[in-house]
Amino acid sequence: MNYPDLITLGIAFGLGLLVGLQREKSDHEMAGVRTFTLISILGVLAGFLTRDFENAFILPCFGIAITALMLMANYLKAKKEPDTNVGQTTEVAVLLMFAIGSYLVLGNQFIAVVVGGALAVLLYVKETLHNFIDKLKEKDISAIMTFVGISLVILPILPDKTFGPLNVLNPREIWLMVTLIVGISILGYFVYKWVGKKAGMISNGILGGVISSTATTVSYARNSKSNKALGKMSAFVIMAAVTVSIIRVIVEIGIVVPEKLPALIVPFLILFVFMSVLSIILFYTISKEENEEEMPEPKNPAQFKSAFIFGLLYALILLAVAYTEEEFGNSGLYIVSIVGGLAKKDAITLSLAQSIKGGLGTELGWRLIMTGVLANFAFKIVLAAILGSKELAKWLGGAMVLSIAAGLLLMWLWPEGWHF
């Protein structure tokens, strides 16, 4: 008995039931649970016949026959009910289930199961998707299209070679980092679109850290200036955003040098826990009289100009790190980290992670990244003092100074070689 073929039939039966159940539940007359199950099994049998008889024409003949059946069914339906709205979703789903059944036999079963499951989910979330799309504005569509251009058009055509002085500039790697940062920011932006503006202080801080902690600092600092009663609340949201940005740093390191993440992650996790405690304390000091305000709507995070500037900044930091290491040794890298952190925390993190991947020691590497992070914290204090109210500067400044002190102590006291 051929047990693998029986298992394949069982998988096809299950996928057909899953997709057919959704179509049956939506009261679709064209095809329901039985039809989709039969179509899936027919695809498997067509695959068996193609494989066993080694005839490549069997499978397309079955496909054409199913297409003809769908066309005839739609024709009869339109003739019987001229005003009916004939869609294409179920018809495409039928053909896809036939292809999935065939691919279970002739291709990769894992991919077939993933596609079948994704099809069922996509059909199920139809209303949710439509509601989400209805809420999209012109700038949201622009963000999606820009990200598609950045990731799927520009990235693949860039050369995967190192150029320029010091042999550290790889166009594809540089643009891959741009794609990563834009992708993280746009994810947070659309989560904001999903949860709405009134997400609460905690959610505002988390989303602000995912999208951009600097943009969050600027927005809430300006709000505290115009409404002095919001000083403490703004301080909490900014502090929460900056705290969440440490997780963003950890994610960036993990993507660039996953093999060395255990040797780099612990100090940042400790700093994250320390700052989380400060954020909680700050949250519970907010008086009950203060009202939560709507989270300021973030700008389009996928602007091509911003992406291009980030790419240039990242490339310049790569050059600066390589030049400083060659000319001045490791001590000069701390200056680069401070300047890079003041300019853009993501850029200095990714460039130093690339240097660690290229041979920079992990002990020095995480300290340099931490230096850039702490420099960025200091920059946040300056922004809050210039743009915000005195109360914001007092509360946020106190919390951030304690965070910088904790980071410096970690860099000074951390034992060599202590990691996961």
Shared domain for 117 and 161, answered yes or no, is: no
Give mean pLDDT, residues 213-240. Answer: 81
- DSSP for 379-392 reads HHHHHHHHHS-HHH
Confidence of residue 402 (pLDDT cuts 50, 70, 90): very high
List the structure tokens of 415: 């034992």
SS3 for 169? strand
CA atoms within 13 A on the CB side of 193: 21
Shared domain for 147 and 24, answered yes or no, is: no
The answer to the question of residue 129 being in a domain is no
Give mean pLDDT, residues 8-18. Answer: 90
Do the beta carbons of residue 62 and residue 47 sit within 8 Å? Answer: no
- Which residue(s) pair with 169 in the sheet? 163
**Whole-number average pLDDT of the chain:** 83
pLDDT for 284 beyond 60 = yes
Instruction: Supply the pLDDT for residue 407.
Output: 94
Instruction: Supply the pLDDT for residue 292.
Output: 53
Shared domain for 117 and 167, answered yes or no, is: no
Shared domain for 268 and 177, answered yes or no, is: yes
Give mean pLDDT, residues 160-175. Answer: 82
Q: Which helix (H) or strand (E) holds 240?
A: helix 231-256
Instruction: Supply the pLDDT for residue 272.
Output: 96
For residue 300, the tally of other CB atoms under 10 A from its CB is 16
The answer to the question of residue 419 being in a domain is no
Domain count, the chain: 2
Instruction: Supply the pLDDT for residue 76.
Output: 75
Q: Which of 75, 96, 124 is the last residue of a domain?
A: 124
Give mean pLDDT, residues 262-270. Answer: 92
Who has greater pLDDT, 266 or 123?
Answer: 266
Shared domain for 201 and 330, answered yes or no, is: yes
Do the beta carbons of residue 269 and residue 250 sit within 8 Å? Answer: yes
Shared domain for 54 and 174, answered yes or no, is: no
The answer to the question of residue 420 being in a domain is no
Confidence of residue 308 (pLDDT cuts 50, 70, 90): confident
- SS3 sequence, 87-118? CCHHHHHHHHHHHHHHHHHHCCHHHHHHHHHH
List the structure tokens of 27: 């009261």
Task: Please tell me which of 190-194, 352-356, 398-402 the model is most confident about, judged by mean pLDDT.
Answer: 398-402
What single-letter amino acid sits at 330? N
For residue 262, the tally of other CB atoms under 10 A from its CB is 11
Do the beta carbons of residue 100 and residue 1 sit within 8 Å? Answer: no
Shared domain for 338 and 217, answered yes or no, is: yes
The answer to the question of residue 130 being in a domain is no
Confidence of residue 174 (pLDDT cuts 50, 70, 90): confident
Shared domain for 325 and 209, answered yes or no, is: yes
The answer to the question of residue 418 being in a domain is no
Give mean pLDDT, residues 32-60. Answer: 89
Do the beta carbons of residue 352 and residue 372 sit within 8 Å? Answer: yes
DSSP type of residue 32: -
Instruction: Supply the pLDDT for residue 221.
Output: 84
For residue 83, the tally of other CB atoms under 10 A from its CB is 5
In Å, how far are 32, 89, 216, 237, 242 from 15, measured between CA atoms? 13, 17, 45, 45, 44
Give mean pLDDT, residues 327-349. Answer: 82
Do the beta carbons of residue 65 and residue 94 sit within 8 Å? Answer: no
Provide the domain limits for residue 304.
136-413
Shared domain for 100 and 12, answered yes or no, is: yes
Do the beta carbons of residue 394 and residue 292 sit within 8 Å? Answer: no
Give mean pLDDT, residues 298-308. Answer: 71
Say how far residue 281 (Cα) sits from the centre of its chain.
30
Location of structure tokens 């042999």: 167
Instruction: Supply the pLDDT for residue 43.
Output: 93
Instruction: Supply the pLDDT for residue 268.
Output: 95
Instruction: Supply the pLDDT for residue 339.
Output: 86
The answer to the question of residue 204 being in a domain is yes
Shared domain for 308 and 187, answered yes or no, is: yes
Give mean pLDDT, residues 159-164. Answer: 82
Shared domain for 13 and 89, answered yes or no, is: yes
Instruction: Give the separation between CA 167 and CA 356, rounded to whole angstroms.
Output: 16
Q: Which of 73, 103, 124 is the last residue of a domain?
A: 124
Who has greater pLDDT, 398 or 76?
Answer: 398
Instruction: Supply the pLDDT for residue 419.
Output: 64
List the structure tokens of 237: 């949201």
Task: Please tell me which of 181-190, 315-324, 394-403 the model is most confident about, judged by mean pLDDT.
Answer: 394-403
The answer to the question of residue 102 being in a domain is yes
Query: Residues, the chain, total?
Result: 420
pLDDT for 376 beyond 60 = yes
Do the beta carbons of residue 62 and residue 98 sit within 8 Å? Answer: yes
Look at 211-220, 270-279, 378-387 and tell me which has the smallest mean pLDDT.
211-220
Q: Which of 68, 94, 124 is the last residue of a domain?
A: 124
The answer to the question of residue 80 being in a domain is yes
Shared domain for 280 and 392, answered yes or no, is: yes
Instruction: Give the separation between CA 68 and CA 112, rounded to whole angstroms.
Output: 24
What single-letter amino acid sits at 280? I
Instruction: Supply the pLDDT for residue 26.
Output: 63
